[in-house]
Structures are given as C-alpha cells and as structure tokens.
Amino acid sequence: METVFKSENLCKKYGSFSALSDLNMEIPKGAIYGFVGKNGAGKTTLIRILCGLQRPTSGSFSLMGKSWDDKEIYKERRRLGAVVESPAIYKDMTARDNLIQQYLMLGLPDFKGIEELLNLVGLSNTGKKKARNFSLGMKQRLGLAMALCGNPDFIILDEPTNGLDPQGIIEIRELIIKLNREKGITFLISSHILDELSRIATHYGFIDKGHIVRQMSAEELKAECQKSVKMKVADTKVLAKIMEEKGIEYKIFDDQNAEVFTEITFSEIAEAFAKEKCTIFTMGEHEESLEAFYLSLLGGENNA
C-alpha cells in the first residue's frame, strides 16, 4: 500500500507532558483519512509535526516517502496544502489578492487558476471586500482555496466545516469528495462533527493520549458498526423459530420486542411471519453510528 504519510513510534514532549507517545499511523494515498480524538489527544500536535512547524522528540515519519530529517523534505511539502487550526489569510487583502499572494509564494507561473478556485469555494462575488470583513465561513472557504493553490497531492484540514452554515457544510463535503475522486487528492481531516466525517472518510484513525488506538478503513468500520433490525411482533417465540430456521442472529428483549442482527429483506421476513400467522407490529433498521463506535472506543467525556 502506497502511503503519503507514515509514522513510527513518533513522540513529542513539551517538558514533562507527552503530547504524542509512540504514535504509529499510516495514511494511504488517495484516502480521505478521518482523524478523530478528544480535545488534547494530540491531533493538532501531529498535524504541526507533519507540516514542519514542530520537530518530533523521538521516532520518525515520512512524508510522500521522504524521511522527516531529509534536507529535501521541504520539496515534498510543496505538494502539501493545509488549513491548520485557523485559515491562514492576509486580512488586509481581498480573496483574489490572497490567492495571488499564495500563487506568488508558490512560484506559480501565472494566475489563471484563481477565478476557478474562487468559483469552486463560492467566493467569486466578494469583489473588493477585505478578508478581515469576511464571516468565519467565508474565511474557512478562502483558507481552503489557499490550500488548493498549486494542485497539491495531500491536503490537511483541521475542522474544515467550522463556522460554515448547513449549505456550506454540504458544499465543502461535496468539494472534498470531488477533489478526492477526480484529482486523487489525499485528505487528512480532523473534525469534531463525526456524522459529517462518516459521510466522506474512507479511512479512520482514532487517537487518544497521543497514541493511535485504532486505524481502520470505512469498510472495516461498517462491519464493526453492526447493522440490526428492531422488531415488535405478536410473539417473540415465533420470531425465534423463524430466525433459527434462517440462521440469523437475534436477541429477545420481552414477549413482543426483539433485535435481529443482519441486513434482512423485509418482504421475505414478512412472508415467513404470515405463514406462522404472527403479526409484525413495527420493524426498523438500526445502525451503530461512528459517534457510538467512537464513544465505545474512547469513552464519552470531553469528546472532540
């Protein structure tokens, strides 16, 4: 598996406080990697180290295959775009001027892509409005546009939907999916909105106390977040008989309520119950969410 980022026993200490402790993590190329953890778990520390803002105390990591202590790693960082904590923008400039600034800094030959980028993030109509007068959502979009300058291969987004309205959240989500699918850009997304993350992430990393507790693909998570059907029937003894005949796992709560752990075809089940002359009162699909999985994995206090 080709990776854009790989860390081995990465540690970061601030005095006696250990922000990262033997962190091992891999971000596969082309993934949308959802980075999940409580406040202070070490998410931002890892992002800072990855971006070259800070140095690890021990351990190592590689970015696009280049080791962190390689003098040429700055070349790989040119393929990186990031919005870390707050969007990096020049407040006394317009959205367009901000992008020109980024183009100049990256040494891009012309400014042809700027209008397209402004359209992409929905800031094409901001005209001469200075960035200091932008709303939080607009700043977030501008930060994203800045991160997209120069067609990066890997984008790091720390709370990308922070401050966005529901429409904006949907637009950013669709933009991330589009960029990932069409341009193959790898994303590392740290988000507090787990439901939102679960809609786009292809891989997950759960961090706690500076340590990766679990890494998994969306498919693996789906398998772990077992689907079930909650049923209310006239007699759960009949339900037990039918489920055993079909080899389906189930759990009886009382005489009328039970839970069936599989994806079932409703009509097929209804037919079986009709044959046994047992009434089905209600039937509803239930799925454990990323949120529930996260809570079971890391505990519920101070979640982020």
Chain residues binding other proteins by CB under 8 A are 48, 51-55, 74-82, 84-93, 97, 100-102, 104-107, 146, 150, 156
Q: What is the Cα–Cα distance from 177 to 195, expressed in whole angstroms?
A: 15
Nearer to other proteins, 80 or 123 (CB): 80
| Smallest separation (angstroms) from other proteins to the CB of 77 | 3
- Give whichever of 92 and 224 is closer to other proteins, judged by the CB atom: 92
Question: Which residue's CB is nearer to other proteins, number 76 or number 159?
Answer: 76
Collect all residues with Cβ–Cβ distance below 8 Å to 243 and sequence separation of at least 6.
249, 250, 260
Give the C-alpha distances (Å, rounded to integers) separating 267 from 236, 270, 272, 274: 18, 5, 9, 10
CA angle, 139 then 143 then 144, to 5°: 120
Residue 287 dihedral angles phi and psi, to the nearest 5°: -130, 135
Pick from 247, 203, 183: nearest CA to 36: 203
* Nearest approach, Cβ of residue 107 and other proteins (Å): 5
How far is it, in rounded angstroms, from Cα 146 to Cα 117?
Answer: 9
CA gyration radius for the chain? 24
Least separation in angstroms between CB 91 and other proteins: 6
> At its nearest, how many Å lie between other proteins and the CB of residue 257?
53
Which residue, 13 or 173, has its beta carbon nearer to other proteins?
Answer: 13
Of 107 and 247, nearer to other proteins (C-beta) is 107
- If we measure between CA atoms, which residue out of 106, 109, 26 comes closest to residue 61? 26
Residue 200 CB, nearest approach to other proteins (Å): 22
* Cβ-based nearer residue to other proteins, 105 or 274: 105
Q: Tell me which DSSP letter residue 133 carries.
A: G
What CA–CA distance (Å, rounded) separates 204 from 289? 14
CB of 187 to other proteins, least distance (A): 15
Q: How far is it, in rounded angstroms, from Cα 149 to Cα 159? A: 19
**Cβ distance to other proteins smaller for residue 79 or 199:** 79
C-alpha pair distances (Å), 166 with each of 43, 158, 162, 171, 231: 25, 18, 11, 9, 34
Q: How far is the CB of 94 from other proteins (least distance, A)?
A: 10
Q: Pick the closer one to other proteins by CB: 80 or 269.
A: 80
d(C-alpha 126, C-alpha 134), whole Å? 9
Shortest Cβ distance from residue 53 to other proteins (Å)?
A: 4
